[in-house]
Amino acid sequence: MTAHILDGKALAAALRADLAQRAAKLPYRAGLAVVLVGEEAASAVYVRNKARAADAIGVTAWTIRLPAGTTEAALLAEIARLNGDPDVDGILVQLPLPPQIRPEAVIGAIDPTKDVDGFHPLNVGRLHSGAPGLVPCTPLGVMKLLAHAGTALRGARAVVLGRSAIVGKPVAELLLRADATVTLAHSRTRDLAAECRRAEVIIAAVGRAELVRGDWVANDAVVIDVGINRRADGSLVGDVAFDECVDHAGAITPVPGGVGPMTIACLLENTLAAAAARRDQKSIQRPLRSQSP
């Protein structure tokens, strides 16, 4: 038996095509501001990819580059300016930040209606209370991949490996919303392999290369690999030993080309959702604008 490979690139492309149609129907051009502090190479690549993807679907993307020595107060002032700019529908501050800046202070300063990362405490609370709000992009992408695979989540046993606030906890909450029975596993979990063997759905998001082995995966289980780990030779692998698990799973995501493309597509979906939610406010009935905010 060989698993069905869940092609995140193809699914993300289809979602972006749909988002382009939705963006064209808005009475104005939606705007996304991406803030990059410092010149960390991987972050710069991520920011560039996000800006290109936004432009491709008809969303104006501004990249605000600040030096690595920027103070927390200066960054908070920039966020306050973007919060008040009616042309900006979504604000994303690229993480990680330099050590002099507290991420929690920055995340908490973003207007929750513009928090397209879904990290603001208000949006976190809305997710956990079942209220509508902006949902973190990677967990949202995971759920779309599960839906694409035709996964029956109601009553299913799901194991989430990793309890981060960015992926593990929110994806566990989304699985609970879908009526799955969820185990949130982590580094202190006893006999992690046994927990996985009982699962019909495995979400791996721990940041440990090829942690999940083939004999951890029950036949026909759906395996979503969120991990991205770089080997010494520069190649990328996930948290799942793909070559082993593909012979057991019913469906599985590759790395790269699985969850990653969905994360950016869901960021764009959040941006359009934020724009649409604000469309009736007089402050955003504005003409198209192309200059930096």
Counting other chains too, the contacts that 127-136 makes at CB distance below 8 Å and 24 or more residues apart are: 127/170, 127/173, 127/174, 128/173, 130/177, 134/270, 134/273, 134/274, 135/170, 135/174, 135/270, 136/166, 136/167, 136/170
**Domain contains 63:** yes
Task: Please list the pLDDT of the chain residue by residue as tens digits (293 residues).
Answer: 688 999 999 999 999 999 999 999 988 899 999 999 998 888 999 999 999 999 999 999 999 999 999 999 999 999 999 999 999 999 999 999 999 999 999 999 999 999 999 999 999 999 999 999 999 999 999 999 999 999 999 999 999 999 999 999 999 999 999 999 999 999 899 999 999 999 999 999 999 999 999 999 999 999 999 999 999 898 999 999 999 999 999 999 999 999 999 999 999 999 999 999 976 564 444 444 444 56
Please confirm, yes or no, whether 117 is among the known catalytic residues.
yes
Alpha-carbon dihedral sign for residues 126, 132, 137, 142? positive
Does 112 share its domain with 151? Answer: no
Structure tokens of 237?
Answer: 């692998």
Both 56 and 161 in one domain: the answer is no
97 and 147 assigned to the same domain: no
| pLDDT score at 193 | 97
For residue 281, what pLDDT is reported?
60
CATH number of the domain where residue 190 is located: 3.40.50.720
Q: Which of 87, 89, 115, 117 is catalytic?
A: 117
Total-model pTM: 0.93
Catalytic residue among 89, 94, 114, 169: 94
Whether 109 is covered by a domain: the verdict is yes
Same domain, 150 and 186: yes
Helix (H, G, I), strand (E, B) or coil at 23: helix
Same domain, 238 and 271: no
Catalytic residue status for 144: no
- Domain of residue 155: give its range: 137-258
The answer to whether residue 53 sits within a structural domain is yes
Number of domains in the chain: 2
**Do 108 and 189 fall within a single domain?**
no
Q: Could you tell me if residue 172 is inside a domain?
A: yes
Residues 145 and 252 placed together within one structural domain of the fold? yes
What pLDDT sits at residue 234? Answer: 86
